[in-house]
Chains A and B, each alone.
Chain A
């Protein structure tokens, strides 16, 4: 059977050629003949249960009604999709479904197209939406592979059910059933926290296969293994089926690659401070308390609200509080100043002013507007009417004491300028969260043999003289992984790091340290103490000889191994014991 074989048939007096094995429905779709369907979905095996897609087929003398979703085309078939007989039966079936599921919009639509306004049958439940097409059950079985729902009872009592009507253990919370339901009959409740909410900064649903963020580089989708059905059940792979370019693969795995480079620039960035760590600020409990980054997303033109500043209930806030130094300058969390929060908070205040009529309260400790034009921006805001309150916010709650406070978030703060504790009711609170080192900062440091400062930001070689270099030659730092920075500073530092790397590459060589350690092969006992201690992984163990060997290019001459060697085999060039004792002797001679 050649794959090229085409079959020619007639549908509503039009001739159509399709490949062998195609169904009548597929053939009809090819020439834009519409056949209504309810239980059919191209991704699922034909079920032929709703019987709405029945068409009249003539083959020679015989004339039969068949379901177009599963009947394969045959040569010379004459199909009439709207023959009087097919229409009569279709109408009757739709009428019965209208009575079963009066609230199902899809059924109403088809009924309208068929010219039916009202069902002649008695309606028992006007709220019912389920038409028992089985798409959900089949989705769960064939696509998801979870088999969490099925049909229970039979005949008229048939219903879609979880085992014993209890929340199903088998359910993986993918909600594919609800997605496939043509009549919105399925609702779900996340009982066991199994549902994966695909969020982009908690602001709206997304899918398991997605572009991480709008401005992501590279701008390509990835599969979120945690959310992807395939990685839970081994089924699905719908994305593979629908991608015409066959670009999706579930078989791709993380790979280890070795790339030889001359220098490395670390620009691993930061992570925003997790505001949940300050329970008093209520983040995560009250929907209208959001972080700076979330506000940034909200106000972005491509946000779910289209850039409008709205509360969780969809209304515009009438008052907004911006709290500075959340997680910064605080000995309980981070003692350092995150450098950017004051300015972005001021930007927020300006944006809110521009987009809403809300009153804005800005709670600050010190206003750190250093640099060109920043102080002027602060003054402009003062003029715009933002209310600046100097003092650290102690608590944000919804416990109203007065009628005015009812339904609001109450920010409690000691106004150090007035010298009094104030309660400020607002609709929305924005937490200006600080910058923290990335989560895997220490691990990275270990990999690259560099050090971290006390606050786990990467440590530069010298704060003034070598701010982008590290103690490892050829490894440079750029951006917030070294310290909190704003964008201009980051860019500047990145430029510096790049030129350092370029300089190195241009030279092609680099100077070795003159002072390195060396192992006296005669003395080395092969204890390998030095191997573990070397901070630059410069020492390896030669198994054949049974001794440690030092790589001169890596050794920085720190002397750790020299001090540790129990047999005195490791000696620092130019600083051998003998030399040092000689020097000491010399001093005494003078």
Chain B
């Protein structure tokens, strides 16, 4: 190599649009300035694949990988790396959740699992130079074929390799060639199908752009094998770069005698022409493509006859897709045996995928067949954007299907994908997360096929728009269940009866989403709910909508932005008697759905709530809960936790006389004695309970149901209905040997003691088992008591169910978390705990929730010396209070069974909700249950049927938008960080950690809101 350093700059479409040509100009300027022209060469390569990181540059020969380059960086880069030999860390790739950059491309996980065959030259050669291609063994295969092999031998080799059509159908390539060779007639044709056009797919385009010669060489070999003398490359005109590079390549071939008459002196003649397609999706279908090349309307015709018998102008025609052709020279060069070793039993070799959607590292990849979906999405593409939950991956674009988390272990090969209801397609993969509505997703793809249907056959032309209409109806919450039946019938019928592949596969997105996400459809129809909070007609704003008790967050955010804090507080009070509590302990699902989070960080909605409630407290504002006229009916509530308080508050407002029976000495349930005061100060909680009391709700503490009074006795005292909200406070055991020794303590009891009595006994070296909020609370409380705390968790951090900010705080406080660790045995001496034996876990296949299953790694057992073990892996309700009321149904999880829509138990007049029904869950879920139960009790007491009527949620308040400054509009602003007291101050006390936002911070934060509630007014965009 005459140059010391080659700078390979990506000139794929993605990087070009990220100004990679400007980068090159800047580099050359700098290189010239430093007089390095003789030593350093810049090369524009085809698509590198790691499009998310563009523009990309690789420094060869050492393989340093630079990403997201800006023209401003170049001066520094050239000086440091090229002149002084110090690679610039700042511009390297840093994996998510890690601090250190990875300097070499080969070490980046995105590239690690890939095997490059079709893309063997990507990023290595200049696609516009035939010499580069030849230097990489280009046209060796052609020479070999023309001089040493008969056409039959070539076909035999292809058959042996097991290569199958990469356009999606998966027809064995060798067999196709054989049929084409055997077909009667002269003047045969080979065609390269580069009409890729499904949303989210850019494989073929990238191959042609990165390495046009590999495709042309493959075509020439194919032409020799089948006996064709003319070839066509059918490229859509939306791919100008691909067209330009192919044309250049053809010209170079002609100049070099590799195309035309008597190629390489073998007597074989072949020529190629580029046909520009008008960008019609259906022209990817063979017969439509043929019609288009012939100059007719690009419409499919019924098959048979197949193109290999009667294709272009009635002559035998062999059509293969770009990727198939690009594989051919490699197979000839390195042999069918080598090729067939890669992949699975039925699907050989590799497959190129374009991975896009809600993932961290979008781009172009090539993996061996049989790689699982999970590996592609999580290991190569880096997992889901913003660490949200994976929902589905759409493979094969509008013709493919949505595969859910159950399918993450599915190996990618033709049969497995078809079996799961999707298809290989040309290899577009669009990943969706929990914020993507599957109805909307299906509708989106149908919208595409609806537009792209040629309209020839009835089912496709008429049926797809009809399906789209039904999906629109569902999405708008206007559909009935029979619409779903019709939708399914239509989908099956279209799949069965459409004329060509477009129609046959167009219902796949609907069919697969119906198969895997039927409950989402039903939620839209029955409950008028969009679980992903995406469908505009049902979702006034995602935050408001997602709130389990429907606090209109969008409104109070807007009011804060206007500085109208009191009004904001009133918005909170309207649906929630415990806003100050929620402002501290809510798991804020609203922030997950926040649209601002799609483009940056979500709005700190909970922190704004905290600000508003703090402001109210400071100003001494009191809520003005207004009860309805008194009704002479009494309702009893068992348990004064969030569910009980919510139900009591609601019922009291409706005019009922409400009494809450509480077994503990204080009201509040888990809020009072499980959540430590550093998260939720007692004063705050008590103030809000006081508000509820003032409304007329009586709370009788220290009343233990089953002991002091039975349920039947409550009825006898004249109560007309009972709401059981007794919570779940019975701790689950680990189920490992030696658990029952001194030193193993129940986290609930520990927290109760700690919270109520401000003192609890804890050892010096504490291990907490679990990853939920209880585990974190117990750990942090123990730390405050001076213990050295280690959390043992069997999975990894992203899978921890506890609130993210609490995990972070725990880590900050110096609590160690041993991830991928499972206790297997409690070690004790003389009945006293001395340590715990653990094993390391490894993440294996994905489970149904889309998380990787941890499995023990053999031989990794180790011991930790501890004196206290807190097993906090979950709780269940303690149903001992039901004595004498055995007719209440109990589930196999030891929870009360209720009608989930009404919270009614099987006993008339008794309702239940909260953790006692759901098992341990969040405060807000409990409040939601309380709210529903109160509504049901109200209906029950009025003698109405309990069934709920579901209506789409409507926006009630309209707050005008604030006027933003230019800077606010143009600049991406970051989220206001919640100020906290320092770790040093936290030790040994119960001081509230979070201080609350200042007024300025709150207003600034609220002004970041995109106000999607306004966008959705009237269901219009």
Contact = CB atoms under 8 A, between A and B. Distances in A.
A93 B459 contact: yes
Nearest to B298: A154
B455 A156 contact: yes
Contact of A158 (B301, B461, B463, B499): B461
A397 interface: no
B302 A48 contact: yes
A514 B456 CA distance: 85
Interface string B258-287: 000000000000000000000010000000
B1017 to A, nearest CB: 26
Given A93-B497, A151-B297, A154-B453, 20 more contacts: A46-B302, A47-B302, A48-B302, A48-B457, A49-B456, A49-B457, A51-B459, A52-B458, A54-B497, A67-B302, A92-B493, A93-B459, A96-B462, A96-B466, A132-B455, A154-B280, A155-B464, A156-B455, A156-B462, A158-B456
Contact of A50 (B454, B457, B469, B490): B457
Interface in B489-517: 489-490, 493, 496-499
8 contacts: A48-B457, A49-B456, A97-B458, A132-B461, A134-B456, A156-B461, A158-B454, A158-B455
Interface string B983-1011: 00000000000000000000000000000
Nearest to A48: B302
Contacts of A121: 466, 469
A154 B458 CA distance: 12
A65 B496 contact: yes
Nearest to B489: A92
A154 B450 CA distance: 9
A155 B463 CA distance: 10
Nearest to A153: B455
Contacts of A120: 486
A131 B450 CA distance: 18
Interface of B: 280, 297, 301-302, 450-459, 461-466, 469, 486, 489-490, 493, 496-499
Contacts of B453: 154-156
Contact of B297 (A49, A96, A150): A150
A77 B489 CA distance: 27
A96 B463 CA distance: 7
A466 to B, nearest CB: 71
B458 A96 contact: yes
Contacts of B280: 154
Contact of A89 (B302, B456, B465, B493): B493
Contacts of B499: 48-49, 51
Contacts of A50: 457-458
Given A52-B458, A67-B302, A156 B465 contact: yes
The interface centre, meaning the residue of B302, B464, B490, B497 with most chain A CB atoms within 10 A of its CB, is: B497
Interface string A83-122: 0010011001100110110000000000000000000111
Interface of A: 46-52, 54, 65, 67, 70, 85, 88-89, 92-93, 96-97, 99-100, 120-122, 131-132, 134, 150-151, 153-158
A150 B454 CA distance: 13
Contacts of B493: 88-89, 92-93
A155 B496 contact: no
Nearest to B483: A120
A46 B305 CA distance: 12
Contacts, number: 90
A506 to B, nearest CB: 68
Contacts of B465: 155-156
A543 to B, nearest CB: 58
Given A49-B456, A153-B455, A97 B297 contact: no
A82 B486 CA distance: 21
Given A89-B496, A92-B493, A99-B462, A156 B302 contact: no
A20 to B, nearest CB: 15
Contacts of A52: 458
A51 B455 CA distance: 13
A97 B457 CA distance: 11
A97 B497 CA distance: 14
Nearest to B498: A51
A154 B490 CA distance: 20
Contact of B497 (A51, A100, A132, A150): A51
A155 B466 CA distance: 12
Contacts of B497: 51, 54, 65, 89, 93
Contact of B458 (A49, A85, A151, A157): A49
A92 B487 CA distance: 11
Contacts of A49: 456-458, 499
Question: Closest 3 interchain pairs by CB?
Answer: A158-B455, A96-B462, A48-B302
A50 to B, nearest CB: 5
A153 B464 CA distance: 16
A122 B493 CA distance: 19
A120 B458 CA distance: 16
Contacts of A67: 302
A89 B457 CA distance: 13
B987 to A, nearest CB: 68
Contacts of B469: 121-122
A18 B459 CA distance: 30
Q: Interface centre among B457, B458, B465, B498, by most A CB within 10 Å?
A: B458
Contacts of B456: 49, 134, 158
Nearest to A159: B455
A134 B462 CA distance: 15
Question: In the complex, which of the residues B453, B455, B459, B469 has the most CB atoms of chain A within 10 Å of its own CB atom?
Answer: B455
Contacts of A88: 489, 493
Contacts of B452: 154-155
A156 B466 CA distance: 10
B462 A100 contact: yes
Contact of B457 (A51, A99, A150, A154): A51
A122 B465 CA distance: 11
A70 B302 contact: yes
Nearest to A98: B462
Contacts of A85: 496
A292 to B, nearest CB: 54
A504 to B, nearest CB: 66
Contact of B454 (A92, A97, A155): A155
A51 B458 contact: yes
A158 B282 CA distance: 14
Nearest to A93: B458
Contacts of A96: 458-459, 462-463, 466
Nearest to A88: B493
Nearest to B281: A154
A16 to B, nearest CB: 22
A96 B464 CA distance: 11
A150 B291 CA distance: 15
B486 to A, nearest CB: 6
A364 to B, nearest CB: 66
Contacts of A155: 450-455, 461, 464-465
Contacts of B455: 132, 151, 153-158
Contacts of B459: 51, 89, 92-93, 96
A157 B461 CA distance: 9
A271 to B, nearest CB: 50
Contacts of A156: 450, 453, 455, 461-462, 465
B462 to A, nearest CB: 4
Contacts of A46: 302
A156 B460 CA distance: 9
A553 B496 CA distance: 87
A534 B469 CA distance: 89
Nearest to B457: A49
Nearest to B282: A154
A156 B446 CA distance: 13
A51 B466 CA distance: 17
A460 B31 CA distance: 114
A534 to B, nearest CB: 64
> Which of B453, B464, B498 has most chain A Cβ within 10 Å?
B453
Nearest to B486: A120
